[in-house]
A and B are shown apart, each in its own frame.
Chain A
Amino acid sequence: MNRRFFIKSGSIALASVGLSLSTPLSAPGFLQRAVLANESKGGKRKTLVAIFQRGAVDGLNMIVPFGESNYYDLRPAIAIPKPNGSNAETAISLDGFFGLHPSMSALKPLWDSKRLAIVHASGSPDNTRSHFDAQDYMESATPGVKSTSDGWLNRYLQSKKEKEASPFRAISMTQQMPRAMQGRAQVLAMSNLSNFAIRAGKSSASVQGGFEAIYSRDKSEMLAETGRETFDAIKYLKEANPAQYKPENGAQYPQGQLGNSLLQIAQLIKAGVGLEIAFTDVGGWDTHVNQGNARGQLANLLQQFSSAIAAFHQDLGQRMDDVVVLTMSEFGRTVKENGNRGTDHGHANAMLVLGNSVRGGQVYGKWPGLKNDQLFEGRDLALTTDFRDVFGEVAARHLGASDLKSVFPGYSANASKFKGFLS
């Protein structure tokens, strides 16, 4: 690994975000290290994008088990009709038993090209129906244990220490640091890349210069290293000029927070800044009232959700070889619709896994059935896959985690329980 190679890689990375380099750019130290880290392992940087659907998405209307007659018996007003090719308001068949919600048609091509896998009847074995507790359990990945202080993604980062990791190694595109990312390992949380700057109006540049000089003076100062990293990152983002970003391959991100977040994550991946873990979330799924069927509240949300993911996939193109998108939600919703054409808090749910390396085109997990006597506590989709087996498979087979014990304390996540959506 020589310097010339690095400069080359660095320029490739920068060029990819639409930079024209009139002057040779001295790439920040973290970027050099990111490139070094990638190359030394002889492979490209793997990235996980985790999306949390907060509020508990109705997995049974997202991935519709249209082959179950009880699904239609229990949901007279809100069921998604069986696939009917000529009717755009019916489920989109995946395998003759399960179908996509019709507003998720953007994901169908990814299913057909075997890049989208689904793990149904998955979730948390704890039977709490509190959003707060269930999100807590899923993000800490310790169902039933509230005192776990860090999140599973942070524990993964801790388990695979990188010397002087890039400040962009783990990013949460959220205002606040989510539970899943909290912990000892460094993670950046920001809702907008452009805000990552010194903000002092007209004198921003000179003030930044001042801080830089101050923080580079005393190398024994423990804050100095962090200070230097901060300015490297600021300068890098400024050069990359996130506001100027143009998605590739004709990708069109939908308006809204999830589209925005995924667009910025795509930008960081292309910039080659060493992004390994990205997290974002999207709310509004708590559809107790007037959930709708092929149209309505949930349909609108699913449309936004699926078109944002599809745009992300399209934008990244071949880079999806090294990226996996994983979606999750704290619990599922009742099989039976309630008195308000909505659904209440349930149990198992469906997770989506997407990427070029995913063995897609298949619904994974044992299907427990929806007959009344097959329901969990007489009302909910039963659980057959612990979410930690899904997380664990992604951590081990995509990210290359070797110490799953420390990522999932108190749980034995191992290959024998993996579903096989990654090889």
Chain B
Amino acid sequence: MIAAMLATQTLVTFADTSKTAKKSRLSDEQRIIHVLNRLGFGARPGDVERVKSIGLEQYINQQLSPEKIADTVAENKVKDLTVLEMSTAELYAKYPQPGQLLRQLQQRGMLAADSNNPPNPQDEKNRKVLEEYYQQNGLQRPQRIMAELQASRILRAVYSERQLQEVMVDFWTNHFNVFAGKGADRWLLPSYDRDTIRPNAMGKFSQLLLATAQSPAMLFYLDNFQSVSPDMNRGGGMRRLANEQQQPQRQRRGINENYARELMELHTLGVDGGYTQKDVQEVARCFTGWTIFQPRGGAAAVNAIMGSDAARRQAGTFFFNPRAHDDGEKTVLGHKIPAGGGFKDGQTTLDILARHPATAKFIATKLVRHFVSDTPPPALVDRAAAAFTKSDGDIRETLKAIFFSNEFNSPEAYRAKIKRPFELVVSAIRTVGADTNGGPGTHQWIARMGEPLYGFQTPNGYSDAAESWVNTGGLLERMNFGLALAGNRIQGTRVDLAAKLNAPEKSKLIDESLKMIVAGDISAATRETLLKQIDETNADTAAKVVGLILGTPEFQRQ
């Protein structure tokens, strides 16, 4: 019935290739499981039935309009994560960097200065001063920011009804990767998630691209905040500003090409997208002056407490500095950008890139790889790219072209993708119906399997192909994770297996567990092995069975 419904979609022509015609189609239930796995983080108990009653096509369309889905459970889960709502300036004020705070205290005479030394936060005496200052003023250590942001990602992925939205947040966060370990980025990332990625995850690509270009997190990560025209006028006020923009060490002044290069290679055109080194230089010129006001927060912590300095409200926000901008004429990918354009130069560049055919192809390829197969079928990539172009880069329309395609719904695509660690952890928590606080207990497992959130150093982001995730160390940690989850050995995460698997007899227990975790999609041989392995039935048996099934090859796939 669902197949008939889907067949009415213009983009769907089922079983029209000889290859898929030979194979049987996915069953209705498999199609639901497939959609729950790919458009979301796997099924929770009862999800398959829920989708069945809504209707699969209807469910997919709902997921494509997340703004219309009520999401109170997830929002309640994250409501205590205060960093999510705070501005960057507030984060600087509440989660100051210890060394910076000590320097500020010393400058204001609140800390005795011994000789000329800048205070060392490791020093015993200073540690005590810091400890007290943090405590008395209700401040917290900066590590807390990333802990809460990671928790929010996990909680939303586990509990949100807007599953596709969370998948797309993960996808774009990775596409526009920013590393939390680089300088000020940990203070800038909550805003990146909230103001840059989330509002644009299902909208127009051009808007998402502009948002990332103006995001302090990206400006810092790819150094554009330091990129200034070589003939920038160094006036008095400017010098102070320029000093604050720079790293503490002496820095070359001038144009920094880093963002310009990655913008074309990784964000839009792709490495073979037809740009030249000259284009990189010209694009870099267009973005000179796109910078951050007080990128390291200035004296935010002390200012906030002393109640001074109005500027602190804007610390860590985007601003265009016309005096740092190279206002000459530029040529980007053959388009002339006339002199005197100022801020518009960057906007024009982004427009050229967002609408370039190479971008449509590059984004379509990445989406198809993510949602369908590690080896993206070229015909589907072409159709997705056409949908992208026709809709002026509408992400929703591009996704539709993929979800309602023959290739997406083919048996070849079913459970063909290896889950990445984040996907594995979230889907395991969902499938056994565990309750989690999304805390460090879960972050550590994701990191151990090789995908620490916001922990990828280079701008290309984590790989979306199985070969990067199938290795001895990673596989061992996957097995251990399943055992830890089922055995309630992950701090902050609890599962009540007894309540979910009410089966005193072992073959029944195994069958129920298999149904719950892999929807029964497991080889007879594996089931036989499980039966053989479980000889006793006691209080720990359910944890053992579930742990083993979470570690099977079948559950590593989606």
Q: Which residues of A contact B (CB under 8 A)?
A: 127, 129-130, 132, 136, 140, 146-149, 167, 176-177, 179, 184, 186-190, 196, 198-201, 203, 206-207, 209-211, 213-215, 217-218, 221-224, 226-227, 229-230, 233-234, 288-290, 339-341, 344-345, 377, 379
**Chain A residues within an 8 Å CB radius of B262:** 146-147
**A130, A186, A223, A288: most-surrounded residue (chain B CB, <10 A):** A223
**Chain B residues within an 8 Å CB radius of A201:** 487
**Chain B residues within an 8 Å CB radius of A210:** 529-530, 533, 544, 548
Taken together as a complex, chains A and B put the C-alpha atoms of A29 and B468 apart, in Å, by: 23
Within 8 Å of chain A (Cβ to Cβ): is B261? yes
- Given A211-B479, A289-B120, the answer on whether A227 and B553 have CB atoms closer than 8 Å is yes
Other-chain residue from B250, B458, B472, B547 in contact with A129 (beta carbon distance below 8 A):
B250
- Given A127-B252, A132-B183, A200-B483, the answer on whether A147 and B261 have CB atoms closer than 8 Å is yes
Within 8 Å of chain A (Cβ to Cβ): is B135? no
Identify which of residues 334-386 in chain B touch chain A, using a CB-to-CB cut-off of 8 Å.
none
- Is B533 within 8 A of A147, CB to CB? no
- Is A290 within 8 A of B120, CB to CB? yes
Other-chain residue from A189, A211, A222, A340 in contact with B117 (beta carbon distance below 8 A):
A340
Closest 3 CB pairs of A and B: A210-B533, A223-B553, A129-B249
- Is A149 within 8 A of B458, CB to CB? yes
Selecting from B18-26, B64-72, B235-243, B459-467, the interface stretch reads B459-467
**Chain A residues within an 8 Å CB radius of B233:** none
- Is B452 within 8 A of A176, CB to CB? yes
- Given A199-B483, A207-B548, A210-B529, the answer on whether A132 and B182 have CB atoms closer than 8 Å is yes
Q: Which residues of B contact A (CB under 8 A)?
A: 116-118, 120, 181-183, 247, 249-252, 258, 261-262, 265-266, 418, 447, 450, 452, 455, 457-460, 466-468, 470-473, 475-476, 479-480, 483-484, 487, 523, 525-526, 529-530, 532-533, 540, 544, 547-548, 551-553, 556
**B458, B479, B526: most-surrounded residue (chain A CB, <10 A):** B479
**Chain B residues within an 8 Å CB radius of A200:** 480, 483, 487, 544, 547
- Is B118 within 8 A of A203, CB to CB? no
Taken together as a complex, chains A and B put the C-alpha atoms of A213 and B553 apart, in Å, by: 12
- Is A198 within 8 A of B476, CB to CB? yes
- Given A130-B247, A148-B458, A222-B466, the answer on whether A189 and B265 have CB atoms closer than 8 Å is no
Taken together as a complex, chains A and B put the C-alpha atoms of A176 and B265 apart, in Å, by: 27
**Chain B residues within an 8 Å CB radius of A188:** 471-473
**Chain A residues within an 8 Å CB radius of B553:** 214-215, 218, 221-224, 227
**Chain A residues within an 8 Å CB radius of B266:** 147
Taken together as a complex, chains A and B put the C-alpha atoms of A207 and B549 apart, in Å, by: 11
- Is B548 within 8 A of A214, CB to CB? yes
Taken together as a complex, chains A and B put the C-alpha atoms of A188 and B525 apart, in Å, by: 30
**Chain B residues within an 8 Å CB radius of A339:** 116-117
- Is B529 within 8 A of A184, CB to CB? no
Taken together as a complex, chains A and B put the C-alpha atoms of A341 and B115 apart, in Å, by: 11
Taken together as a complex, chains A and B put the C-alpha atoms of A290 and B115 apart, in Å, by: 12
- Closest beta carbon of chain A to B415's beta carbon, Å: 11
- Is B533 within 8 A of A226, CB to CB? no
- Given A127-B252, A199-B483, A223-B553, the answer on whether A213 and B533 have CB atoms closer than 8 Å is yes
Other-chain residue from A132, A290, A340, A345 in contact with B181 (beta carbon distance below 8 A):
A132
- Is B475 within 8 A of A199, CB to CB? no
- Is A211 within 8 A of B247, CB to CB? no
- Given A132-B182, A340-B116, the answer on whether A207 and B470 have CB atoms closer than 8 Å is no
- Is B475 within 8 A of A223, CB to CB? yes
A-B pairs with beta carbons under 8 Å apart, 23 shown: A132-B183, A132-B457, A136-B457, A147-B262, A147-B266, A176-B447, A184-B468, A186-B472, A190-B473, A199-B484, A200-B483, A203-B540, A207-B544, A214-B529, A214-B530, A217-B523, A218-B525, A223-B475, A223-B556, A224-B553, A233-B472, A289-B117, A339-B117
**Chain B residues within an 8 Å CB radius of A215:** 553
- Closest beta carbon of chain B to A178's beta carbon, Å: 10
Other-chain residue from A148, A186, A218 in contact with B471 (beta carbon distance below 8 A):
A186
- Is B120 within 8 A of A226, CB to CB? no
- Closest beta carbon of chain B to A293's beta carbon, Å: 16
- Is A147 within 8 A of B459, CB to CB? yes
- Closest beta carbon of chain B to A268's beta carbon, Å: 14
**Chain A residues within an 8 Å CB radius of B551:** 211, 214
Which of chain A's residues has its CB closest to B115's CB?
A340
- Closest beta carbon of chain B to A398's beta carbon, Å: 25
- Closest beta carbon of chain A to B373's beta carbon, Å: 14
Which of chain B's residues has its CB closest to A340's CB?
B117
- Given A210-B529, A345-B249, the answer on whether A149 and B117 have CB atoms closer than 8 Å is no
Besides the contacts A129-B249, A223-B556, what 14 more A-B pairs have beta carbons closer than 8 Å? A129-B250, A130-B249, A132-B457, A146-B459, A176-B447, A196-B473, A201-B487, A210-B530, A210-B544, A211-B479, A213-B532, A229-B472, A289-B117, A289-B120
**Chain B residues within an 8 Å CB radius of A148:** 458
- Given A200-B483, A223-B553, A289-B120, the answer on whether A217 and B529 have CB atoms closer than 8 Å is yes
